[in-house]
Amino acid sequence: MKNQLSNVAVAHIALCLRELDKDFKHSEFCKLALLGLDKLELKQRVSHIIRVLHPFLPADFAHAADLLKQLPAVWQKLDPNKQVSSFAAWPVIDYASVYGLSNPQQSLDLLSSLTHLFSAEFAIRPFIIEHPDYCHSQFRMWVQDESEHIRRLVSEGTRPRLPWGLQLKRYTVDPSANIPLLTALKDDSSLYVRRSVANHLNDISKDNPDVLLTICQSWQVDASQDVHWIIKHATRSLVKAGHPEVLSLLGYEQQLLLAPVGLNIINSQIRLGHYLEFDLELSSTSSESQKLVIDFAIHFVKANGQQKAKVFKLKSIQLAAKQTCNIQKRHAIKAITTRQYYAGTHRLEILINGQALASQEFELRI
């Protein structure tokens, strides 16, 4: 993704700013912004472009903000075929969080104007930390805004554990300030917003599972299908962890009536870059249907030779009385940036409604 912030993005930023300010030094900005850019990772590129941009904008932040607020008018006009990635707007948006932190009123006004170009979810977090009361006074208005991008910014920007974003530790300890905002957005007409609400609630579940459970229990009363979807998506981490009250809330059986689960790993020796293939057989011993959520965990070998489990979704089914169900799965064991693989004996485990019911080992060769 870092290549989304390269010469094309820099050129577009410069072109737009020159359109708004004829005195903007287009060539000089591009030259300095591209200097060493290709050696940097994604977030380093964002910071680098912001630093380079600063002396080319008005020294007074209020004037700089007024200029940047005009960007949406030219951003798409100068890129009618959408050749420039939305990532190009990231450093322009985050400029406010670096140089406008002491001007929350002007900065939040700017962020609300620009968030639809990329998302101001990262830029707004320093303001929440430094100016929580003012931010929440704005958020209470923004949840009613006509723009789905601004409404989503409320939910996404206040997430306690937003990936790539500053962690909002005050909300990992006590998320209560955000709950009225999420409640106001739970019936939002936009799936874009509702998905953000669900992800925010999932963040809450990692530090305050009982709070998440209470929210979902209250929302479930007379809930629409959309809210039921939010609840299901918001509780996914607790379902993987086998949280009994959450599984009960979602209607999953706790007293399973199943024959021993038949698990078979087809290729018990695999190389990195190939697939782990397995199948399993579930047979009901119940005279009634059972609602099942089926996950699988891979216990990966760590550098010290110990194992650590990572849970993956498989499927949810309604297993009829006395029914037998066969499930096949191919799971790629490939190099990714978030996991280091080590050769050795790994273990596959099948989880049904949070309960480990079968496991088998396989060998990974690097």
pLDDT bin (cut points 50, 70, 90) of residue 80 is: confident
Q: What is the pLDDT of residues 86-119, one digit of tens each?
A: 999 999 999 999 999 999 999 999 999 999 999 9
Q: Output phi, psi for 207, to 5 deg.
A: -115, -30
Helix, strand, coil percent content, the chain, rounded in steps of 5: 50, 20, 30
Instruction: Please report the pLDDT score of residue 211 as a whole number.
Output: 97
Which pLDDT does position 244 carry in this prediction? 87
| Mean pLDDT, the chain, whole residue set | 96
pLDDT surpassing 90 at residue 337: no
Sign of CA dihedral 210, 211, 214, 215: negative
Quick one: pLDDT band at residue 151, thresholds 50, 70, 90? very high
What tokens were used for 6?
């390269």
- Coil, strand or helix at 233: helix
The predicted model gives 273-289 an average pLDDT of 97
Classify 306 as helix, strand or coil.
coil
SS3 4: helix
The pLDDT, as a whole number, for residue 74 is 96
- State mean pLDDT over 21-25: 96
Residue 14 corresponds to which tokens in the numbers above? 């410069």
| % residues pLDDT > 70 (the chain) | 100
Average pLDDT over residues 22-32: 97
CATH 3.20.20.80 fits 161-251, yes or no: no
Nearest-angstrom CA–CA distance, 355 and 261: 12
Predicted local confidence at residue 262, as pLDDT: 97
Distance in angstroms (rounded) separating the CA atoms of residues 307 and 97: 40
pLDDT for the residue numbered 338: 82
- pLDDT of the residue at 67: 97
Query: What's the topology of domain 262-365?
Result: Immunoglobulin-like (2.60.40)
pTM: 0.85
Q: Determine the 3-state secondary structure of 282 from DSSP.
A: strand
Q: Residue 118 in 3-state DSSP?
A: coil
- Which residue's entry shows tokens 């948006």? 93
pLDDT number for residue 242: 83
Q: pLDDT at position 240, please?
A: 85
* Alpha helix positions (H), 100-224: 104-114, 125-130, 132-142, 148-157, 169-173, 179-185, 191-207, 209-220
